[in-house]
Structure formats: structure tokens, C-alpha cells
Amino acid sequence: MRWYFRAVGAKRIIAFIVLALFVIFFLGPLLNLLILAFTGRWNYPDVLPHEWSLKWWTFVFQQEDIANSMGLSFLIAAIVTGLSIVLCIPAAYAFARIRFPLSRFFLFSFLLTHAFPKMGLYVSIAVLFYKLGLMNTLAGVVLIHMINVLMYMTWIPTASFRNIHAAQEESARDVGAGPFLVFRRITLPMAMPGILVASIFTFLNSLDEAQGTFLVGIPNYKTMPIVMYSIISDYPAYAGAVFSIILTAPTVILLLAAQRFVSADVMASGFQVK
Amino acid sequence: MSIQLSIRQLKKRYKTGDGVSDISLDIRKGELITLLGPSGCGKTTVLRSIGGFLDPDAGDILIEGKSVLGSPPEKRPTSMVFQSYNLWPHMTVYDNLAFGLKIRKMSKPAIKQAISEVLELVRLPGMEKKYPGQLSGGQQQRVAVARSLLLKPAVLLLDEPFSALDAKLRHEMREELREIQADSGLTMVFVTHDQEEALSISDRIVVMNKGNIEQIASPQDIYDHPETLFVAQFIGKMNFVKGVADDRIRIGGLSFPNAQAHSGPVSIAIRPEDVILNDAEGQGIPGILKQIMVLGHYAEVSVELGDHGTIRGFQPREAVKSLQPGQKVTVHFAKVLTYSEG
Ligand SMILES: Nc1ncnc2c1ncn2[C@@H]1O[C@H](COP(=O)(O)OP(=O)(O)OP(=O)(O)O)[C@@H](O)[C@H]1O
Ligand SMILES: [Mg+2]
């Protein structure tokens, strides 16, 4: 133990303790979740379960609406991500390259969707959806998910596009590429890290969205988080733990896969106002 | 020799009112022309108009006799090297260089061959696999120059390509560029606000000020015969005194031939090397020696000439040995340049 702290160094010991606390704070609940999910029998005062088992896993996978909800969740997340890309990437490029009146105002207006209590916003949207016949439809659920991610999906790619210098695009024109080829071969690949981060964010956000879906999608569109609520209230905590892991897994996998793109800069530059 | 690039009465005004006007310029094949002038005088505006990145309001640009105004940058036989951010960071040096050649449908072995040759030429052999982020600023600019050379443009445009580099490297790069130009016979338009750079590499210099051309001439002529007061002020070190013109140009007790038939009050410019220092009894304008600075093989002296202010002169080191600051001297001029007032 002593060699370890010596290696850390006296000056950094406080930073190290803070980090350690942080890790415990984050990983503690996750560890607890893991233990719960594989528990057979566990009596309260003991630190670890008496019996390990997979019975809650089989139980969860036997519930029909769970399997359905997983498929539905991923379908919706994929549609939301695809549509947001198609909609927001051109908008982000416009915000980054074209100076038009009130462009900053428009960019800021996306913040409004996050400025009010979500439920209030959703209820007013639900009233509108009701009139338009969008309640209890896939389109309605997709729309309400998109409202959530509009800001990230525009701001982060806008910053990426802004970081591409005019000279880099002009050089490409100069050596013989037309505007479309320049966008495809130069601009888009250079902005890709930001677009990827925003897309992952959008995908995860959609997987995780419960409030709006609950309001707009019930009873036919029960996504994973919605089903989660009923599992938590109807079954023992073990089943909830299993389900949480299923819900967390895509996040972890996607973030690990995208780690090389997710630099703090990409995120931070999305929140600069220029 | 034949005219490669011809700019006729080019005019461009931005919404802010800045811009250039009445730019006319003929550049011969194989010539290296420099656009020189202070910041904001419109050098980049002219260059971008040639490259196709700006639409001029009026005038014409002809390359090898044909107007290029209707063509977008990708269709013009020009190539441009920007001050910075020329390269695409997500591509290797090879891919950066090959991009334009692939668009031209060159075969892969030919591309490979051409790239390895051009990298040799810009002294970066074997750098194909590196990414721009792994190169120094100077190396990046070399790659950018190489990319333009590969395309064998009718005119190569360079917008202060070395200004972000340190002085020593800048010096090296400009010498290399001059060599490349001499070898390849490329026609080049080079933009700089560094007069030393312009004087050292150009066949001819175009001095610009406030959106207009002040003078077009060889470096030697620009230095020896600046046509306007602005050029006299901008190029090299210069002293300015007031004088009067009648049949001769008169400064204090001195007079010079009035070749250009000026009349009335005139501004007179004198190069420091044309300042002649005599002792107090000698012929010339009396003054007091203020300062002697020995700078290696020569010395810079400053002399206060009463109403005419202070002027600086260059003297051989031997000549200042016997001089003391504070002593009375007289000053004479080997050569003067005269400009009408106003
Ligand atoms: N896009 C633009 N919109 C408005 N004004 C501009 C624009 N580009 C340049 N100007 C103005 O036009 C004038 C000439 O600009 P230009 O860039 O050609 O100067 P320059 O000689 O290249 O200067 P520098 O040495 O600083 O690069 C300047 O006053 C500049 O402020
Ligand atoms: Mg410029």
C-alpha cells in the first residue's frame, strides 16, 4: 500500500482521494446493481448474497412485454437519431457558415426546450398532439424524443463545422473539387467526431426518455424505461436490477466504442457561444 | 515574353466600403510578382479575385489570354497557397497531395511517382504517411506548396504563405521558393507585407496602398526611384525634410537640380546612405551630432538640423572614429528624391 501512495506523490494525494471518492460514488451503486441482479437469496445484514443465481434474468426475459419494449426502444432510438441527423446537420452547417439575421437567436431558441420544466412542455405538446391525432402513435413518440435532442444535435455539430477553416474548404475547391465533393470529402469527415458524439448522445437520450413517451405513447408504445417503472413497482428489486443493467448496457457499449471520438473539447466547444 | 496573367481595371468594393479599385497589371510568363503593402491595402482581395474566391465588381482577369471571371475556383488554371490551414487534418500527406490528382483521373502509379518527386523537391522525402498534425508549421506550408506544384498551375498564388513562421525559417523558405520558381518556370503572384521579403525574391514588386497600386517596378527601381511619397515612406529607411522648389530644389543652404519641374513647397526624401557628414566648417546644413551607434561594419549617426528636424545617416566605421556626440557638423546629401506637397 505504501509504495502505491508514494507513487501517487504527496502533492496529488488530495486529488487522488477526491477521485477515489468520486469513483466509489459512481461505481458503488453499479456494483450493488450487479450483485442484486445475480442474487438467489440474500438476507439483510450480510455483505454478500448467500446464493448466486440467474433466475431473475430468466424471469425478466420471459416477460413478453419486456422483449417487445427492447425492440421498440431501439427502433425508436434509431429513427430519432436518423431523422435528427437529416434535419440538424444541414441546419448546423448553415449556422456555422452562413451569417443570417437572428442566427444567434435561432441557435439559442433550442435552449428553450431545456429551460422549462419538462412535464409542463410535454403537457402542452400533448394537447397539440391530441388535436393533430398524434397521440399513441409512433410519429408522436419520435417527435417528442426529437424535441429533447434538437439542441445537442445542432449545437455540437455547429461547433465542429465552425472549427473547419474557410481555407481548408477553399483549398479543396482550389485543387479541383466542386462544392458537393468538398462537403463530402473534406467538411463532413472533419466534422464527423462532433456529429458522432451528438448522434450517440441522441441515441442514448432516446433510449432513456420516459416522461414524454409516457404521456404520448401510452398504451401502445411502451419503451424500456416505461416498462421499467412497472417492473420496479410490481416485482422485487432483483428484477429491477436485471432490467437496469439491460438498459445501461447500450450506453456503456456505445460510449466505449466512441471513446476515441468523445474528447472533452468536442463537447465543450458545442457550448461556446460565438 | 508572353503575358501569362492580365488584370484589367479590377474593382471590388465590400459592403463596408473597403476594397480595391483600378488594379491593372500584366504578368509575364515565368515571372515572380509580389503584391506588397500595409495591412488592409487589398492584397488578399486581388489574389482571391484571381483565384476565383471573390467576384469582382468590375474589370477583367485573363489567364493566357482568356477571361477566367466566369469560372469557379475548381475550374481555374490557378492554385493558391493560403497563410495557414491549407491541409486537411484527417488525411495523410499522401492523400492531401493526391486529392487533386485523383480528381484529374491520374493513374495510381503516376500519382505515387509524382508525389514522391514533389516531396523530394520541397525537401520532405518519405513523409507520405504522416498526418498534417505531425508536421511543423514550416513542413505543413511546404506540403501546401507541393500540392500546388503538382497541379502545374498556369499561375501560382501565395498569400503570405510564410508569415506564420519564425524569421530564420521564413528566410529559408523564400530562398527555396525562389529556386523552385527558377527551376519550374512557374508564374507566381506572392503576397506579403514584409518589404524585405518582397525585395529579396521578386522580379517585380507591386506596391499597394488603400486599395490602389502606387508603383510597379523591379526591386532595385522601387528602392532607388520610389515614384510616390507613400512608396518612399514604405520601402526601406528614409529621412524626410521640407524644401522649396523654384528653378532648383532648395533645402536650407543646399540646392539640387529640379528635374521634375516641381514648384512651391516640396517633401524631400533622403536615404540614410546618401547623407554626407562634414565638419563644422564644411559645406551644407549646419547641425549638431546627437548620437553615434556602431552597428558592425557601419555606424548610424543622428544629426539635429534645427528646423529640419533630426535625420539619420549611415557612415563607414572609420569616418565616425573622430566624432563626438554634441559637436557641430554640417550635412550634405548625395542624392535627394522630391515629391510635391499635398
Ligand atoms: N469579406 C470582407 N468584408 C468586408 N470587408 C472586407 C472583407 N475582406 C476584406 N475586407 C476589407 O477590405 C480591405 C482589404 O482587405 P484585404 O484582406 O484584401 O487586405 P490585405 O492587404 O490582404 O491585408 P493583410 O495584410 O492584413 O492581409 C480591408 O480594409 C479589409 O478590412
Ligand atoms: Mg491579406
DSSP string, A8-39: H-STTHHHHHHHHHHHHHHHHHHHHHHHHHTE
Report CB contact under 8 Å: B78, A189.
no
- Give residue B11's region: left, alpha or beta (phi > 0; psi -120 to 50): beta
Cell output for B195: 518589404
Residues of chain B positioned with their CB less than 8 A from the CB of A160: none
Answer yes or no: is pLDDT of B19 > 80: yes
- Indicate the burial class of B237 (C-beta count within 10 angstroms; 0-12, 13-18, 19 or more): exposed
Q: Is A172 on the interface with B (CB under 8 A)?
A: yes
Answer yes or no: is pLDDT of B250 > 60: yes
Establish whether residue B206 lines the binding site of ligand 1, counting it when its CB lies within 6 angstroms of any ligand atom.
no
Q: Is A185 on the interface with B (CB under 8 A)?
A: yes
- Sole residue written with cell 510635391: B340
Q: Which of B23, B58, B28, B2 is nearest to B203 (CA)?
A: B28
Establish whether residue B236 lines the binding site of ligand 1, counting it when its CB lies within 6 angstroms of any ligand atom.
no
Answer yes or no: is pLDDT of A106 > 90: no
Domains present along chain A, CATH in parentheses: 2-52 (no CATH), 63-269 (1.10.3720.10)
Higher pLDDT, A261 or B279: B279
Q: How far apart are CA A231 and CA A234, in angstroms?
A: 5
Q: How far apart are CA B58 and CA A236, in angstroms?
A: 80
For B88, which of A174, A186, A192 is closest by C-beta distance?
A186
Give the mean pLDDT of B148-167: 93
Least confident among A39-53, B49-63, B75-89: A39-53
Residue A124 confidence class, pLDDT cut points 50, 70, 90: confident
* Residue partners of A183: CB distance under 8 A and separation at least 6: none
Report CB contact under 8 Å: B86, A175.
no
Q: Determine if the peptide bond prior to A219 is cis (ω within 30°).
A: yes
Number of inter-chain CB pairs under 8 A, A vs B: 63
Answer yes or no: is pLDDT of A44 > 80: no
Establish whether residue B45 lines the binding site of ligand 1, counting it when its CB lies within 6 angstroms of any ligand atom.
yes
Q: What is the ipTM of this complex?
A: 0.86
Report CB contact under 8 Å: B90, A185.
no
Question: What is the distance in A from the centroid of ligand 1 to the CA of B269?
Answer: 30
Answer yes or no: is pLDDT of B163 > 70: yes
Alpha-carbon separation of residue B23 from A197, B5, B46, B208 (angstroms) = 49, 13, 8, 9
Answer yes or no: is pLDDT of B271 > 90: yes
Residue B218 contacts residue B204 (beta carbons within 8 Å): yes
Looking at all shown ligands, the one closest to residue B82's CA atom is 2
For B73, which of A165, A174, A192 is closest by C-beta distance?
A174
| Highest averaged pLDDT of the listed ranges A198-212, B195-209, B277-291 | B195-209
Cell output for A26: 459512481
Give the mean pLDDT of A9-26: 82
Test site for ligand 1: of B10, B12, B16, B158, most ligand atoms within 8 A of the Cβ: B16
For A174, which of B80, B87, B88 is closest by C-beta distance?
B80
Report pLDDT for A264: 54
Q: How far apart are the first and last CA of chain A?
A: 49
Residue A105 confidence class, pLDDT cut points 50, 70, 90: confident
Beta-carbon count within 10 A of B178 CB: 16
Q: Is A174 on the interface with B (CB under 8 A)?
A: yes
Answer yes or no: is pLDDT of B62 > 60: yes
Give the mean pLDDT of B10-34: 95
Residue B337 confidence class, pLDDT cut points 50, 70, 90: very high
Answer yes or no: is pLDDT of B103 > 60: yes
Higher pLDDT, A109 or B188: B188
Q: How far apart are CA B33 and CA B281, in angstroms?
A: 48
Report CB contact under 8 Å: A172, B88.
yes
Answer yes or no: is pLDDT of B81 > 80: yes
| H helices, E strands: number in chain A | 14, 2
Give the mean pLDDT of A168-194: 94
Cell output for B60: 477583367
Residue A273 confidence class, pLDDT cut points 50, 70, 90: very low
Cell output for A46: 450480510
Cell output for A35: 450483485
Q: Which of B261, B256, B269, B258 is nearest to B308 (CA)?
A: B269
Interface of B with A in 88-107 (CB under 8 A): 88-90, 99-100, 103-104
Distance from the Cα of residue B242 to its chain's centroid: 28
Give the mean pLDDT of B62-87: 95
Answer yes or no: is pLDDT of A274 > 50: no
Task: Please provide the average confidence, as pLDDT, over all residues in chain B.
Answer: 93
| B contact test, residue of A175, A184, A186, A192 with most B CBs within 10 A | A175
CA distance A175 to chain B (A): 5
- Quick one: CA dihedral A246, A247, A248, A251, positive or negative? positive
Give the mean pLDDT of A139-157: 90
Specify the residue with its C-alpha closest to ligand 1, atom 2: B14
Least confident among A267-271, B90-94, B316-320: A267-271
Domains present along chain B, CATH in parentheses: 3-231 (3.40.50.300), 237-340 (2.40.50.140)
* Residue partners of B39: CB distance under 8 A and separation at least 6: B193
Half-sphere exposure of B5 (CA within 13 A, CB side): 28
Residue B74 contacts residue A170 (beta carbons within 8 Å): no
Instruction: From the CA of B38, give the closest atom in ligand 1.
Output: 25
Residue A271 confidence class, pLDDT cut points 50, 70, 90: low
- Sole residue written with cell 465543450: A268
CA geometry: angle B282, B284, B288, nearest 5 deg: 80
Q: Residue A41 phi/psi, 5° resolution?
A: -140, 135
- Indicate the burial class of A124 (C-beta count within 10 angstroms; 0-12, 13-18, 19 or more): exposed
